[in-house]
């Protein structure tokens, strides 16, 4: 793992280029994708400590108890297109460090970076057969979900597929963690610093062209004055976004991943207009000279969005931000809690009371207080609630170690030779 970490560091530029070529995100953003994944490799370097068991002496007369974490066996990981470095690295380094073998099935849309990572793992000394990669789509996935030799499935992707993966793999007797889609709300309180909040919304709404599972796609402005002021601050920032190929200098936002994604996002924007939302910034119709066939779109901002509109209910997964107005804090909190997804959320405020209440009562797995994209660091764990995660265990951190290991409890006695206690049919107790 130490060697693997070094190799990823050494090859960061090359890996970032592979990501940008296939995914479209900017080179700097691709480097962030790699860094956040590499942090899990660093975490896996501490595996002796993480696998340490517990021991209790004399749980009964002359009886000791201890526990150990052992490998699960063959694990498989199915990953989405949007983080071709970070998400495979959430999975296979920790799985291998826990003593398992691993089969990675990356997204068919950008498999080159995952492939290179597997090559680097081999170069670092991972033995043949311990880390494997298979390409494909549903057919390859189904083979893994139903194969008798596979013991555990890690999945990250959209909610309909996550739900299918969870049900199918569980039916075939496997341990499953299946992370799904998201609709992340950022609540902006009337006392928030709106310069900071609007900058945060631009980063979280339009970074990676909105194709992050932790992207903020809904800004909940508390009070109409907050909503008006927020939209006024956001509008010029969105209009000034520097859009172009991810490999070019000084670019903030690249294209979306495929023609299919492009058409789908345009369709959702059209529907938002038809449903009566106010189109404050229209990102449709952007054509870049020399890239007329590229999937580039400008940032879009909707205002006065309501909970019944598809622009609110659907995960857009594109550079589109919806502003929803809430009359007070409780209405905003209810809206976040009512939403079917529970991946990430944030509150922007100067009021410690409100922030603390929000962190305590919100029904979401990852919460930011004045932090727009609260992705936990590698030694904490990543995972949502509700329809953003099927299964029980989050990714990496101790949750990751628990997922990739089975707990064994041993109760042991070494009686003095010749001493007999006779038999007893009552339940064994401390006495």
What does the per-residue mask of binding to ligand NAD show for 228-267, with x meaning CB under 6 A? ----------------------------------------
Strand partners, 278: 303
**Site for ligand NAD (CB under 6 A): which residue of 26, 95, 107, 345?**
107
Q: Which stretch binds ligand NAD (CB under 6 A): 11-19, 26-34, 179-187, 202-210?
A: 179-187
Should residue 378 be labelled a site residue for ligand NAD when binding is judged by CB under 6 A?
A: no
Neighbours of 387 (CB within 10 A): 19
| Contacting range for ligand NAD; rule: CB under 6 A; set: 49-57, 93-101, 180-188, 283-291 | 180-188
The helix/strand/coil state of 59 is strand
Q: Cβ–Cβ contacts within 10 Å for residue 151, how many?
A: 19
Phi/psi of residue 359, each to 5°? Answer: -60, -35
Binding residues among 313-332 for ligand NAD as defined by CB under 6 A: 315, 317
Under rule CB under 6 A, residue 181 binds ligand NAD: yes
Which tokens is 40 given?
A: 């899990």
User: What is the full DSSP assignment across 334-368?
Assistant: HHHHHSSEESEEEEE-S-HHHHHHHHHH---SEEE
For the bound state, the minimum distance from the C-beta of residue 304 to ligand NAD, rounded and expressed in Å, comes to: 25
213: annotated active-site residue? yes
The pattern of x and - marking residues 120 through 159 that bind ligand NAD according to CB under 6 A reads -----------------xx--x--------------xxx-
Residue nearest ligand NAD by beta-carbon distance: 157
Residue 160: enclosing H or E segment and its boundaries? Answer: helix 159-171
Rounded to whole angstroms, the Cα distance separating 254 from 374 reads 23
The Cα–Cα gap between 257 and 11 comes to 24
- Judged by CB under 6 A, does residue 344 bind ligand NAD? no
From the CB of residue 62, how many other CB atoms can be counted at a distance below 10 Å? 13
Query: Interacting stretch for ligand NAD, rule CB under 6 A, among 81-89, 169-177, 193-201, 412-420?
Result: 81-89
* 5, 20, 26, 79: which one binds ligand NAD (CB under 6 A): 79
- Residue 280 structure tokens: 């404050």
Q: Is 412 helix (H, G, I), strand (E, B) or coil?
A: strand
Closest approach, Cβ 158 to ligand NAD, in A, equals 3
Distance CA 80, CA 156 (A): 6
The count of residues interacting with ligand NAD (CB under 6 A) is 27
Give the active site residues: 213
Write out the residues near ligand NAD by the rule CB under 6 A.
Answer: 78-83, 105, 107-108, 137-138, 141, 156-158, 161, 164, 179-182, 213, 315, 317, 343, 384, 388
């Amino acid at each position: 793992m130490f060697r693997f970490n070094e190799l990823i560091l050494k090859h960061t530029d090359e890996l970032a280029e592979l990501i940008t070529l296939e995914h479209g995100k900017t080179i700097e953003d691709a480097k962030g994708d790699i860094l956040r994944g590499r942090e899990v490799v660093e975490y896996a370097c501490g595996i002796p400590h993480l696998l340490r068991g517990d021991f209790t002496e004399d749980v009964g007369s002359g009886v000791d108890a201890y526990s150990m974490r052992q490998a699960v066996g063959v694990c498989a990981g199915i990953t989405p297109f949007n983080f071709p470095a970070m998400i495979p690295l959430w999975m296979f380094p920790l799985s291998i460090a826990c003593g398992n073998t691993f089969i990675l099935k990356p997204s068919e849309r950008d498999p080159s970076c995952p492939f290179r990572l597997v090559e680097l793992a081999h170069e670092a000394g991972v033995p043949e057969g311990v880390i494997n990669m298979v390409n494909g789509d549903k057919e390859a996935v189904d083979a893994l979900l139903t194969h008798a030799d596979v013991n555990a499935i890690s999945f990250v992707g959209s909610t309909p597929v996550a739900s299918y993966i969870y049900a199918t793999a569980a039916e075939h007797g496997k341990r499953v963690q299946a992370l799904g889609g998201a609709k992340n709300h950022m609540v902006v309180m009337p006392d928030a610093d709106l310069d900071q909040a609007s900058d945060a919304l631009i980063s979280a709404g339009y970074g990676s062209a909105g194709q992050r599972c932790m992207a903020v796609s809904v800004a909940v402005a508390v009070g109409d004055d907050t909503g008006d002021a927020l939209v006024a601050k956001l509008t010029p920032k969105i209009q000034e976004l520097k859009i172009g190929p991810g490999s070019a200098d000084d670019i903030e936002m690249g294209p979306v991943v495929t023609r299919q994604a492009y058409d789908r996002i345009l369709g959702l924007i059209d529907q938002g207009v038809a449903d009566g939302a106010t189109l404050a910034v229209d990102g449709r119709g952007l054509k870049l000279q020399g890239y007329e066939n590229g999937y580039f779109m400008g940032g879009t901002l909707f205002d006065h969005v309501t909970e019944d509109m598809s622009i609110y209910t659907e995960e857009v997964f594109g550079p589109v931000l919806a502003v929803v107005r809430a009359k007070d804090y409780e209405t905003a909190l209810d809206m976040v809690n009512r939403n079917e997804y529970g991946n990430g959320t944030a509150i922007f405020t100067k009021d410690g009371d409100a922030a603390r209440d929000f962190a305590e009562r919100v029904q979401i797995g990852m919460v930011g207080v004045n932090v727009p994209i609260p992705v936990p660091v590698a030694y904490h764990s990543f995972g949502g609630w509700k329809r953003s995660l099927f299964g029980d265990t989050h990714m990496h951190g101790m949750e990751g170690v628990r997922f990739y290991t089975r707990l064994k409890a041993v109760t042991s006695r070494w009686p003095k030779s010749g001493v007999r206690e006779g038999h007893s049919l009552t339940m064994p107790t401390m006495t």
